[in-house]
């Protein structure tokens, strides 16, 4: 019995979501952006891909964006249960005297970790950052060493922390790429605690303050993370937006005003969601085709994609994408689940043709010898295939 190839072509008009690729790749052929920010990186979490970058590896000062690492360390202590939200830390004289943004903590008071985190994240309180650092590590210098150990473990190769707040220091440095690495990890590692970053208002000591992240008030789906500003660094922001199961994070820095930071961060997000879309195929392991089985205990077998295929493309490319399925038919038993039995060809205009495997979704054994002989005879006489 000879095998023949069947072919099927499907034109894809609309789609849903995505994943896959590499944090060091740039997708600038779709995103051709001009921006006044000195350092920029735009990262898509679902495909693990950098969509645009400008001076992403240039050393810069993180300012209060360093507090994301302070949050990460405290979140990690909460996750391993060495700390609890209801635990309290003492407000030292050093913390109480910290300048810059404040949570208005009272000297020698005991403050819960929950309130300290809200003061750190919502109000960007330098006093809260120092209290947390001293409570976790004994003093801020020891906590800074801990920050650098974490940075090394996370793969932040060009980052060096000198304090828990981002307060100006000649040795303090990071890059926008490193801040993307940190942001991805804090979102992935602590999904419940990350929700603190979307809180807009926090009141402590009868003083009500609003979150400094402008995206929370202007962008649909915005849920984090942190602004930063010093005279040396300019105005910066780590912002993250999630829409329809797609998350994009942007780090910008080096702008000369709050107004420009707010305008530019919103503009960049609008460009991303307008000019790119997420193509998601085969994510639910549904049957793509039923292939005939020769001399098996079942007459056919469902073929599925070996893995999801997910990629960022432009809306134009989405409407022109074509899929061709190619498989052997009939397929001789026995068939092992996961066996490669065909190919999927994905043709995106202007790009290479991508290939994925079509595999069996189940095991199918051979017919018994007697039934196999009967089946072969019937096929020779009538052209039918029978199953046991």
Give the pLDDT mean for 232-236. Answer: 95
From 38, 54, 61, 67, the catalytic residue: 67
pLDDT over 70 at 386, yes or no: no
Question: Does the annotation count 361 as an active-site position?
Answer: no
pLDDT over 80 at 91, yes or no: yes
pLDDT over 90 at 225, yes or no: yes
For residue 29, give both structure tokens.
């052929």
**pLDDT score, position 371:** 55
**pLDDT score, position 352:** 83
Give the pLDDT mean for 262-277. Answer: 95
CATH 3.40.50.740 fits 39-275, yes or no: no
Give the pLDDT mean for 76-98. Answer: 97
Question: Does the annotation count 67 as an active-site position?
Answer: yes
**pLDDT score, position 375:** 59
**pLDDT score, position 370:** 54
DSSP string computed for 25-86: -B-TTT-----S-SEEEEEETTTTEEEEEESTTS-B--GGGGHHHHHHHHHHHHHTTSS-TT
Cα dihedral 310, 313, 318, 320 in deg (nearest 10): -110
Rounded Cα–Cα distance for residues 70 and 76 (Å): 10
**pLDDT score, position 377:** 60
For residue 129, give both structure tokens.
């950052």
Counting Cβ atoms within 10 Å, is residue 334 exposed (0-12), middle (13-18) or buried (19+)? Answer: middle
**pLDDT score, position 159:** 98
From 71, 92, 101, 124, the catalytic residue: 124
pLDDT over 90 at 213, yes or no: yes
Q: What is the mean pLDDT of the chain?
A: 88
From 54, 64, 144, 375, the catalytic residue: 64
Q: How confident is the model at residue 387 (pLDDT cuts 50, 70, 90)?
A: very low
Contact in structure between 156 and 174 (CB atoms under 8 Å): yes
**pLDDT score, position 317:** 86
Rounded Cα–Cα distance for residues 313 and 333 (Å): 40
- Tell me the fold of 4-17+281-382: Peptidoglycan synthesis regulatory factor (PBP3), Domain 2 (2.60.410)
**pLDDT score, position 18:** 29
pLDDT over 80 at 25, yes or no: no
Give the pLDDT mean for 227-248. Answer: 95
**pLDDT score, position 318:** 86
Lowest-pLDDT range of 140-144, 192-196, 281-285:
281-285
Q: How confident is the model at residue 264 (pLDDT cuts 50, 70, 90)?
A: very high
Rounded Cα–Cα distance for residues 258 and 287 (Å): 52
| Residues 295-347 pLDDT 10s | 888 888 999 999 999 889 888 888 889 999 999 888 888 999 999 999 999 99
Percent residues over pLDDT 70 in the chain = 87
Rounded Cα–Cα distance for residues 123 and 93 (Å): 20
Q: How confident is the model at residue 5 (pLDDT cuts 50, 70, 90)?
A: very low
CB atoms within 10 A of CB 185: 18
pLDDT over 50 at 9, yes or no: no
Query: What ranges do the domains of the chain cover?
Result: 4-17+281-382, 39-275
pLDDT over 80 at 383, yes or no: no
Question: Does the annotation count 265 as an active-site position?
Answer: no
pLDDT over 80 at 368, yes or no: no
| Residues 272-303 pLDDT 10s | 999 999 888 998 878 999 999 988 888 889 99
**pLDDT score, position 351:** 85
Contact in structure between 58 and 283 (CB atoms under 8 Å): no
């Amino acid at each position: 019995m000879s095998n023949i190839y069947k072919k099927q072509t499907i034109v894809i008009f609309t789609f849903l979501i995505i994943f896959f690729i590499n944090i060091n790749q740039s997708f600038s052929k779709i995103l051709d952006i001009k921006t006044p920010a000195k350092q920029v990186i735009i990262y898509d979490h679902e495909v693990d891909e950098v969509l645009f970058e400008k001076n992403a590896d240039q050393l810069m000062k993180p300012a209060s964006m360093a507090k994301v690492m302070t949050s990460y360390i405290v979140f990690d202590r909460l996750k391993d249960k060495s700390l609890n939200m209801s635990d309290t830390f003492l407000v030292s004289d050093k913390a109480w005297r910290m300048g810059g943004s404040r949570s208005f903590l009272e000297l020698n008071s005991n403050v819960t970790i929950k309130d300290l985190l809200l003061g750190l994240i919502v109000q960007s309180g330098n006093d809260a950052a120092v209290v947390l650092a001293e409570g976790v590590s004994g003093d801020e210098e020891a906590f800074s060493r801990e920050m650098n150990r974490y940075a090394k473990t996370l793969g932040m190769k060009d980052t060096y922390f000198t304090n828990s707040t981002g307060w100006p220091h000649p040795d303090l440095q990071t890059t926008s790429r490193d801040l993307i690495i940190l942001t991805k990890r804090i979102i992935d590692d602590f999904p419940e605690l990350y929700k603190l970053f979307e809180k807009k208002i926090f009141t402590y000591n009868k003083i009500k303050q609003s979150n400094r992240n402008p995206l929370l008030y202007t962008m649909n789906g915005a849920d984090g993370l942190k602004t930063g500003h010093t005279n040396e660094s300019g105005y910066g922001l780590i912002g993250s937006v999630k829409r329809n199961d797609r998350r994009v994070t942007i780090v910008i820095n080096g702008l000369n005003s709050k107004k420009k930071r707010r305008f530019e961060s919103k503009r960049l997000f609008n460009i991303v969601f307008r000019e790119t879309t997420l193509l998601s195929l085969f994510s639910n392991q549904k049957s793509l085709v039923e292939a005939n089985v020769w001399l098996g205990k079942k007459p056919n077998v469902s073929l599925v994609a070996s893995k999801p295929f997910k990629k960022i493309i432009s809306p134009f490319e989405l409407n022109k994408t074509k899929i061709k399925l190619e498989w052997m038919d009939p397929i001789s038993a026995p068939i092992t689940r996961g066996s490669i039995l065909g190919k999927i060809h994905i043709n995106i205009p202007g790009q290479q043709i991508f290939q994925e495997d079509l595999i069996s979704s189940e095991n199918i054994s051979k017919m018994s010898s007697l039934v196999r002989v009967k089946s072969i005879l019937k096929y020779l006489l009538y052209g039918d295939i029978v199953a046991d």
